[in-house]
Structure 1
Amino acid sequence: MTNAEAPAPPAAPPTAHGWPPVLAVALATFTVVSSEMMPVGLLTPMSHSLGVTDGVTGLSLTITGLIAAALSPFAPLLVGARDRRTVLVAFMLLLGLADAVTALAPDFAVLAAGRVLLGAAMGIVWGLATSVGPRLADGPRLALTMTLIFSGVSIASVLGVPLGTYLAALLDWRAAFWALALLGAASAAVLAATLPALPVHERGRLGGLAGALRHRGVAAGIAITAFVVLGHFAGYTYIRPVLEADAGLSTGVIAACLLVYGLAGVAGNFTLGPLSGRRPKTAVALALAGVALAAALLAYTGGVVTVLLVLVVWGASYGGVSVSTQAWVRTADPARIEASAAVWAGVFNAGIALGSFAGGLVVDRAGNRAVLLTAAGLAAVGLLIALLSRPDDRRP
């Protein structure tokens, strides 16, 4: 084994630093996801203001997702040996700037530029944030630490986007992005005030990424993540037309259903998170089985009560996907936590962008039921891989 292929030594042994730095990273993930997904709730007013179609405005999500997906795997390589605390603070400031550019955008070209900046910030933050948790806590505290960090993802869906949409209704859509810009700056300040120094002792290398992927446990975890995220976003992106056209629900009822879904997601994160620390394979299997089952059932479901029950299952299951799949990858190869976490983050972001795109193609060609069954099938493939694999499989 050459030096380039050898796993990098741990940057530093984990040390108990208390909960403030963990909550600071959770605030960062909340801010990142809220910034990424905010156009979903503001698509119509943004389109009217910028003079473009809803489809063109929707590309702002694709742009961000693809840039983040391209950068995340190479985050350790790109930032070199710089202190991770300094890097996270700097790129959260960049995220705030990106939201400010979006708020000021006079046309779609400037909006796209802002979203490119946002994708760059997201790529680096996501590429490093998931590996920070194991440096802030170990032992019995690690599972709760990772659960709290990933709670920012689910809480952004429940609170971040709806609050931004409400603010836009009171003022305008630009106010929502100004609020995110301020939140990005505040998150950077909190990280700077609470995170300990997080030095690394050598630069990231391409060989480290390749070495992580050669580990069968890591490769299985990455494949599982790819299939479930592709499936989820292929189906869930188009949940509103499904509930309108197929289930016959009104706008107000749909909003209530999606709120219930989001709350179930938070509950799923805090339920499957601790289990992930002890039994990652079980947590992953439960999460993927729930997503596959719920997507399949929704294709044939009608009536408010039944729809709500299915969405609770879907929300709780997907709420545990991030924390459980990342726990699988982290458990598989502890010597390459930063490299494997960066690849995981890249695949996750790519799954968001490509899943939404693929779902759109299926909806246009085959309809709502077909896209839900496609989502269920993709999640089921990920579940099959999980059942046939294990995190600690180190065979070449």
Structure 2
Amino acid sequence: MTTIRIAERERTPVRGWLAVLAVALGIFSLMTSELLPVGLLTPVGAALRVSEGAAGLMVTVPGLVAAFSAPLITVLTGRVDRRLMLIALIALMGAANLASSMATSFAVVLLARFLIGIAVGGFWSIAGGIALRLVPEHQVGRATAVIFGGVETASVFGVPTGTFIGDLGGWRAAFAVVGLLGLFSVVAMAFLLPRLPAEHSFTFADLPKVFRGNAALRSALALTFLVITGHFLAYTFVRPILLDHGVGDSTIGPLLLVFGIAGITGNFAAGGLVSKSLRRTATAIAAALTLAMLTLAVADHTTITAAAALIVWGLGYGAVPVTFQTWIMRAAPDTTEAASSLFVSTFNISIALGALCGGVIVNALPITGVLWIGAGLILLALPIIHRSRL
């Protein structure tokens, strides 16, 4: 099977990189869709008459659904061509966003977010290790960084642009644009992705075996849980946090743009660093996220100080996807798709739990509470990192 994969990659190297870019575009549209509510909590909540804490469910619901859909879709579609699956899942995401743009009640929005969760879980579990099948082996690290660069590019152009569109034309317009972007991604993948026949099939019974038999994988999943829960507990409410600290509403979009640019920088920096020292890269991520959150919690804020904290935060979080996915691939080189489905489940449970707990904290405590608790969770990841052998 490995021989076949290498032969396929060497036969069409240019098409392989075009396929990588198509998958990156799909990840970009998907993550823009998942994170878009972060910049629109206030207007959506006001329009549909729900609190900001309740509006945070727009992040919680897809995260929770994705956590269950990742292994479910991976198992049930184990024999289906991965190209067809990626196209179908992005099409579902696009349609759900168009439905959100026409919703007249918060319940309809949550239903659409449920469908987006299915797309997120399925797409990530399949696409996480797909670079192995698209480019020569010595280019896999760079290709993985490009694919996961779509996550950070979503933060740079997706979320801030969506926020800007929402400010100009209303939140419905923002959801509609993301829906159309998803449909464009479908066309790109349909033309550029090669056939990707399923290489391995596994059952639900295999998942606990992969988990129990691999200590490095368990460490990676524990690290993912702590860091992603801590991040989203605070980041989901970054707009109301900044507003509460006196930052002008009109500057929120540009500040999120600053965060995203730093995220892209962190992503591609990590793409080179993980090959040298995975453990040091993970330690730097935890340090950067903790420092940024504590700075926002205690500093007197101007636009400049807020931007500085968000740059550090963006650098740290930007390095997360490629670093953690690399950890997963090194921990489980022979069961990458199964391990990736567990990774995606953990990642999205953490998103959901972070957003949900953040909503409870925001409704019960001063809003800076999410920053303190988020930083505390990330600090708990440091012993796991330093005990690892990767």
Aligned residue number for residue 218 of structure 2: 219
C-alpha displacement at 1:36, in angstroms?
1.4
Aligned residue number for residue 142 of structure 2: 144
CA distance in 1, matches of 2:73, 2:280: 30
- The structure 1 segments of at least 4 consecutive aligned residues displaced by more than 6 Å after TM superposition are none
Q: Any stretches of 5+ residues in structure 2 without a counterpart?
A: none
Q: Structure 1: which amino acid aligns with 2:287? A: A
CA distance in 1, matches of 2:147, 2:119: 17
Aligned residue number for residue 318 of structure 1: 317
Aligned residue number for residue 127 of structure 1: 125
Q: TM-score, normalised by structure 1?
A: 0.89
Aligned residue number for residue 42 of structure 1: 40
Identity of aligned residues (%): 37
Q: Structure 2: which amino acid aligns with 1:309? A: A
Aligned residue number for residue 13 of structure 1: 5
Q: Structure 2: which amino acid aligns with 1:120? A: I
* Residue-by-residue CA offset, 1:308-359 (whole Å, 9 max, x unaligned): 3332221101110111011111111100110111111111111111112222
Aligned residue number for residue 263 of structure 2: 265
Q: Structure 1: which amino acid aligns with 2:347? A: F
C-alpha displacement at 1:268, in angstroms?
0.5
Counterparts in 2 of 1:99 and 1:10: CA distance versus 1, 3 Å: farther
C-alpha displacement at 1:226, in angstroms?
0.7
Counterparts in 2 of 1:208 and 1:155: CA distance versus 1, 3 Å: same
Task: Give the SS at the match of 1:299.
Answer: helix
CA distance in 2, matches of 1:383, 1:138: 34
CA distance in 2, matches of 1:51, 1:243: 22
* Residue-by-residue CA offset, 1:355-384 (whole Å, 9 max, x unaligned): 122223334444344332221111111122
Counterparts in 2 of 1:100 and 1:363: CA distance versus 1, 3 Å: closer
Higher mean alpha-carbon deviation, 177-186 vs 122-131, is at 177-186
* Residue-by-residue CA offset, 1:133-160 (whole Å, 9 max, x unaligned): 2222343311111111111111111211
Q: Structure 2: which amino acid aligns with 1:308? A: A
Q: Structure 2: which amino acid aligns with 1:204? A: F
CA distance in 1, matches of 2:165, 2:367: 31
Task: Give the SS at the match of 1:334.
Answer: coil
Q: Is the 8 A contact 2:233 2:358 kept in 1?
A: yes
CA distance in 1, matches of 2:41, 2:236: 13
Aligned residue number for residue 383 of structure 2: 384
Q: Any stretches of 5+ residues in structure 1 without a counterpart?
A: 1-8, 392-396
C-alpha displacement at 1:52, in angstroms?
4.3
Q: TM-score, normalised by structure 2?
A: 0.90
C-alpha displacement at 1:276, in angstroms?
1.9
Q: Structure 2: which amino acid aligns with 1:318? A: Y
Counterparts in 2 of 1:258 and 1:121: CA distance versus 1, 3 Å: closer
Q: Is the 8 A contact 1:50 1:108 kept in 2?
A: yes
Task: Give the SS at the match of 1:145.
Answer: helix
C-alpha displacement at 1:48, in angstroms?
4.4
Q: 2:208 aligns with which of 187, 210, 213?
A: 210
Q: Is the 8 A contact 2:24 2:149 kept in 1?
A: yes
Counterparts in 2 of 1:34 and 1:286: CA distance versus 1, 3 Å: same
CA distance in 2, matches of 1:212, 1:237: 32
Counterparts in 2 of 1:38 and 1:275: CA distance versus 1, 3 Å: same
CA distance in 2, matches of 1:296, 1:99: 34
CA distance in 1, matches of 2:58, 2:106: 9
* Residue-by-residue CA offset, 1:35-69 (whole Å, 9 max, x unaligned): 11222333344344445444444322222111111
How many residue pairs get aligned? The number is 382
CA distance in 2, matches of 1:210, 1:108: 37
Q: Is the 8 A contact 1:242 1:368 kept in 2?
A: yes
CA distance in 2, matches of 1:339, 1:302: 46
